[in-house]
Chain A
Amino acid sequence: MATGLTRFGRRMRWVPSVCNGRQFSTSFCDKDHNPPAKSFNLYTAINQALHIALETDSRAYVFGEDVGFGGVFRCTTGLADRFGKTRVFNTPLCEQGIVGFAIGLAAMGNRAIAEIQFADYIFPAFDQLVNEAAKFRYRSGNQFNCGGLTVRAPYGAVGHGALYHSQSPEAFFCHVPGLKVVIPRSPREAKGLLLSSIRDPNPVVFFEPKWLYRLSVEEVPEHDYMLPLSEAQVIREGSDITLVGWGAQLSIIEQACIDAEKEGISCELIDLKTLIPWDKETVEASVRKTGRLLISHEAPVTGGFGAEIAASIVERCFLRLEAPVARVCGLDTPFPLVFEPLYMPTKNKVLDSIKSTVNY
């Protein structure tokens, strides 16, 4: 039985897509000038970004549970050796304390890069993020802020993580003006977005798709580059339906796209990248072209960020829509143990929904 399950939802290697749609603000998409790029997996790309962040800013710090030893997912490997134990260090097991501490550190003008071991464990720190980090600037009339704060946390399914190693809590943080929420889909994206998040003058929660840490491999430029926040990217152009996602789910949606195209349905695929503040214009422009929208994420459908996208796009494109906005998401249950394949917004579910939306 267990082997049969792998037919669902297994992530493929991310297939690098054509660099069309919006341009990156960085040099690696600049076709005249191609700096060296080697293949790296996602955790190595994150590791590179952290090296660069610490290298380029002597006031940057990395800390979290077991981070000094490289962390559970090896993202912080080698940092303590390179930058010393005063800049890269282990914390006790106390998420609320970690994030509160990070906010204070950032308030003194430092870049505090805190790791929460799994996104499932970010909730003890929820209050610090929602009530302290997000509102510090606003309520002090811009005297203080913790803009140097970045909280990294691995999120999402891994195939067998069960209730507390699989959750996708991004929507909770998308309800908090003052925070930014960023989720990369691949190694190259992860490196550029993480560097932007670290250097952004606002507190950022950066969720990393843990399923892709080792699985996703692509060419990653070795130099220091940033990818813009709050800019979505059209990673596949099409004319019949717009598909929006982020993080690990994009590779699932892309597989569904490829299958749909075999059946003559042309899909436009958008990686949202930053969930708040999000790039409504790119999604709107696409939906104006296709007339249909499908959003897919792993988190439960009710109250997921897909709901916000759906509402905004209906407001903006009501008369242009030819079908109800579709959402293919996690089910409204806790993240299940053996029923993960059922719970997940699998390729077949996405494909099915693409077809019914197009044939509405």
Chain B
Amino acid sequence: MRLAFEERGADYLLAIKEAHGQAAPVLLRKGDDAGTMRFDVPYQMTMILTNISRFIKEGRIAVVARRCDERAIAELVKRDLLNHDNLVVIGLACSEEQIRECRCTDPCPSSADIGHCAAPAKEDQAASSIQSMPLPDRLDYWIDQFRKCNKCFGCTLNCPVCFCDDCLLEEKTFTPEKGIPPGLAFHLIRAVHLADKCVECGECERSCPSDIPLLALRKMVNQDMKRMFNYTSGDPERRSPLLTTLEGDPMEDDGDAC
């Protein structure tokens, strides 16, 4: 609280606190009673922040952010979807348990204001075991996984870098209406669509009621991005290599549309 309001001059603080025995998102103003703050439950803060910023016209918002939030914010700022001047980032270092859960290779925020940086994970067991399957089995595996999808759209709604107002993938072209599961196109187009944005926060996999290993899928695509373009999303400086012309010159557009 003190850090946000006094040292860093924020007008609001977005954090997680204890309410009704649950971990609850909360927006606080200076002088509010924060109660018990919680740092153990990974809410997708960037997504909540983007929703809030539509309603807060003035003032700076401090947000308790993990490393993946920092990177997600960078992706949004690059596309002019968030204004960095209105933000105060309070870095939260992820616990070992959290790192294990996300198989996270980049867990340490630029300034660890809360908690201590723990060692990154080496590789994603889930992704490597899928990759070690023979190709036909791999397809069967994914088909069986995607059969479990019940179109809650939690994976898109809670995604920090899914920023289109109306998701075209939710339209009937890709997810035939009136039934579940949606076709493969929904998951595969989405995987490719996120290729230059996904920061591996793991929220899609956590939100998925059906335990579809969505983070493993994202990690596999991100590995390809790294291999093919030497690009990692969440880099505040570099523009996505997918937003260049075939000659490699940057395109005019910011890539802020679907």
Query: Is B a genuine binding partner of A?
Result: no
